[in-house]
Chains A and B, each alone.
Chain A
Amino acid sequence: MPNASDRPRRVTIDRDGPIVVEGPVEVVLEDGSVVTSQRFAAAICTCRRSRTYPWCDTSHRRRTSRARGEPQQPCPRSDGAPE
């Protein structure tokens, strides 16, 4: 929250998910364009699969056949690296 406290802005990292940044936040993209989120927190995509990049759209989730009781099969990809 803006001016909510003097402590540094918190950024939360999740190995298998987005980076969550206290909002509002501006993100400068590679082409120099700037996008803004006014939310109290923004989830920034790190898997590069999001169709609403740079915002997370949960595309990082593992994909699996839905049949109950079957082991979850992560889809093949290079250890979390951007594709």
Chain B
Amino acid sequence: MTTSQEGPVLSPREERRRLVQSLRRRPAGTVLPQPRGALSASVIPALQGAAHPLPGHADVARADPYGEDLQLALYILYEMHYRGFEGVDDHLEWNAGLLGLRGILEDRFLTALRKDTPHGRSVDDALADLLVEPVGDDGTSVTHFLRNEGQLWHLREYAAVRSLYHLKEADPHAWVIPRLRGRAKAAMVAVEYDEFGAGHAEDIHAQLFADLMADLGLDTTYGHYVDVAPAEGLATVNLMSLFGLHRVLRGALVGHFAFVEVTSSPGSRRLAEAMRRTGAGPAAERFYAEHVEADAVHEQVVRHEVIGGLLADEPALAPDVAFGVEATGVLEERLGNRLLGAWRDNRTALRTPLPDLSSS
């Protein structure tokens, strides 16, 4: 629609009507990200409807499985299963060519993860590492860094990267529900119900995170920070989409969920302290304070009922549960290294820095 500057003078009522109409027309989807290499540069026009050749096995084999290009291409394809993109036909979610490419990218990612995680560990061993707390700051923990020396700009960068995860918090975990039975299903649904606000839209954890972002002067639009998020951030979200979308990886999805719930409570306490110390705002503090208590409960329920129930039902899935825990740990460590490496050099950990608070 083009509007002429010399158009007729509108009555206030007409002006308001047009404004409401234009707001209603605003698409719910996210804007397609900017490409980061040959793979993502092929996926984007294909989604825009161009007759564009898609990459094949050889192209994907050349890409770094954890790199910017592959992770973004995968992220874009996965997003079609969540909310899609502005101007992209929703039917392409089930386009055979795009699904085929997604499968090739997933193979490359999954193969790298299997190579980088220990083999043959039990679920108890995998979780045991997470159930101890380091004495003090050992220099590898993002939440310790933020609590002890985080400044507001660190917290804003952290929230921008994590928004890709928290604004779809618990969403991919809902995909596992039809694949569980009995105890595991009842417990998984109970935890998810809590994550989704226990019947109250304002308490949905993704909404609490949006409130936190507003406190930090960030844009709360879903997917807004994809372009500034480094591959290490995209990979943590791609992992849960990968596990969530494949029934064969249901054990790994449960392992991923356990990792998140087990590590969340103490990490959230440190982040709540960081938010308080920097005066980030009440919603920023509330998000993490809520997670200290909620996830102390969720940890117990996930370990004893979800994992316990699943393995009582399907004991052969134990290695997959352990893999889900370990793979999450590998990717969290990579993200932590990226963030801390940049911050210790006093530079942005994002692909491009956020606009200053005053100018945003």
Q: Which residues in A have some Cβ–Cβ distance to B below 8 Å?
A: 12, 14, 17-18, 20, 38-43, 51-52, 55-58, 61-67, 72, 75
Contact = CB atoms under 8 A, between A and B. Distances in A.
Q: How large is the interface on B (under 10, 10 to 19, 20 to 34, 35 or more residues)?
A: 20 to 34
Given A12-B304, A61-B266, A65-B138, A42 B297 contact: yes
Interface stretch (B101-109, B168-176, B190-198, B207-215): B190-198
Contacts of B299: 58
Contacts of B193: 40
Given A20-B300, A39-B294, 9 more contacts: A18-B300, A39-B194, A43-B300, A51-B269, A57-B292, A58-B265, A61-B132, A64-B133, A66-B140
A58 B141 CA distance: 17
Given A12-B304, A57-B265, A58-B265, A18 B131 contact: no
B134 A18 contact: no
A58 B296 CA distance: 6
A57 B134 contact: no
B138 A67 contact: yes
The 8 nearest A-B residue pairs measured at CB: A66-B134, A56-B296, A58-B265, A66-B138, A64-B132, A43-B297, A40-B190, A62-B132
A49 to B, nearest CB: 11
Given A52-B292, A61-B132, A72-B132, A17 B194 contact: no
B47 interface: no
A52 B265 CA distance: 12
A16 B254 CA distance: 23
Interface in B272-313: 292-294, 296-297, 299-301, 304
Majority secondary structure of chain B interface residues (helix, strand, loop or mixed)? helix
A12 B187 CA distance: 14
21 contacts: A12-B300, A17-B300, A38-B198, A39-B294, A40-B194, A41-B301, A52-B293, A55-B296, A56-B296, A57-B292, A57-B293, A57-B296, A58-B133, A61-B132, A62-B133, A63-B135, A64-B132, A64-B134, A64-B135, A66-B141, A72-B132
A56 B294 CA distance: 9
Interface of B: 128, 131-135, 138, 140-141, 190, 193-194, 198, 265-266, 269, 292-294, 296-297, 299-301, 304
Counting chain A CB atoms within 10 Å of each CB, the highest count among B190, B269, B297 belongs to B297
Contact of B135 (A38, A40, A65): A65
Nearest to B263: A58
Contacts of B266: 57-58, 61
Contacts of B140: 66
A42 B135 CA distance: 27
A65 B198 CA distance: 38
B78 to A, nearest CB: 30
A46 B138 CA distance: 28
A57 B289 CA distance: 10
A39 B296 contact: no
Contacts of B293: 52, 55-57
A67 B141 CA distance: 12
Contacts of A63: 132-135
B41 to A, nearest CB: 39
A64 B296 CA distance: 19
B208 to A, nearest CB: 15
A62 to B, nearest CB: 5
A65 B300 contact: no
Contact of B300 (A41, A61, A62, A64): A41
Counting chain A CB atoms within 10 Å of each CB, the highest count among B140, B141, B292, B304 belongs to B292
Contacts of B134: 63-66
Contacts of A67: 138
Contacts of A62: 131-133
Nearest to B266: A58
A57 B194 CA distance: 17
Nearest to B304: A12
